[in-house]
Amino acid sequence: QKEVEQDPGPLSVPEGAIVSLNCTYSNSAFQYFMWYRQYSRKGPELLMYTYSSGNKEDGRFTAQVDKSSKYISLFIRDSQPSDSATYLCAMSAGNAGNMLTFGGGTRLMVKP
Amino acid sequence: ETGVTQTPRHLVMGMTNKKSLKCEQHLGHNAMYWYKQSAKKPLELMFVYNFKEQTENNSVPSRFSPECPNSSHLFLHLHTLQPEDSALYLCASSQELVSTDTQYFGPGTRLTVL
For the segment B66-77, what is each residue's pLDDT rounded down to a tens digit? Answer: 999 999 999 999
DSSP string, B49-86: EETTEEEEE-S--TTEEEEEEETTEEEEEEES--GGG-
Q: Write the residue in A2, A41, A98 that is nearest to B99 by C-beta.
A: A98
The C-alpha angle with vertex B10 and arms to A82 and B114, in degrees rounded to 5, equals 125
pLDDT number for residue A23: 97
Asked whether the beta carbons of residue B42 and residue A49 sit closer than 8 angstroms, the reply is no
**Nearest-angstrom CA–CA distance, B51 and B71:** 6
Q: Is A99 on the interface with B (CB under 8 A)?
A: yes
Q: Which residues of A20-55 are buried (b: 16+ CB within 10 A; e: fewer)?
A: ebbbbbeeeebbbbbbbbbeeeebbeebbbbeeeee
**Nearest-angstrom CA–CA distance, A14 and A36:** 22
Q: What is the pLDDT of residues B5-63, one digit of tens each?
A: 999 999 999 888 899 999 999 999 999 999 999 987 899 999 999 888 888 888 899 99
Q: Which residues of B67-99 are buried (b: 16+ CB within 10 A; e: fewer)?
A: ebeebbebbbebeebeeebbbbbbbbbbbebeb
Q: What is the pLDDT of residues A51-103, one digit of tens each?
A: 888 899 999 999 999 999 999 999 999 999 999 999 999 999 877 677 899 99
Instruction: Give chain A positions within 8 Å (CB) of B106.
Output: 43
The C-alpha angle with vertex A103 and arms to B31 and A13, in degrees rounded to 5, equals 120
Asked whether the beta carbons of residue A43 and residue B92 sit closer than 8 angstroms, the reply is yes
**Nearest-angstrom CA–CA distance, B87 and B76:** 14
Instruction: Determine the average pLDDT of the residues in B75-98.
Output: 94
Pairs of residues, one from chain A and one from chain B, whose beta carbons lie less than 8 Å apart: 65
**Nearest-angstrom CA–CA distance, A70 and B76:** 35
pLDDT number for residue B100: 81
pLDDT number for residue B103: 93
pLDDT number for residue B1: 57
Asked whether the beta carbons of residue A8 and residue B40 sit closer than 8 angstroms, the reply is yes
Q: Look over chain A and give the mean of its residue pLDDT values, rounded to a whole number.
A: 93
Confidence grade of residue A11 (pLDDT, cut at 50, 70, 90): very high
pLDDT at B82 over 70: yes
**Preferred mutation among A98, A99, A106, A107 to probe B, highest tally of B CBs within 10 A:** A98
Q: Is B102 on the interface with A (CB under 8 A)?
A: yes
Distance from CA of B80 to the nearest CA of A (A): 26
Asked whether the beta carbons of residue B31 and residue A43 sit closer than 8 angstroms, the reply is no
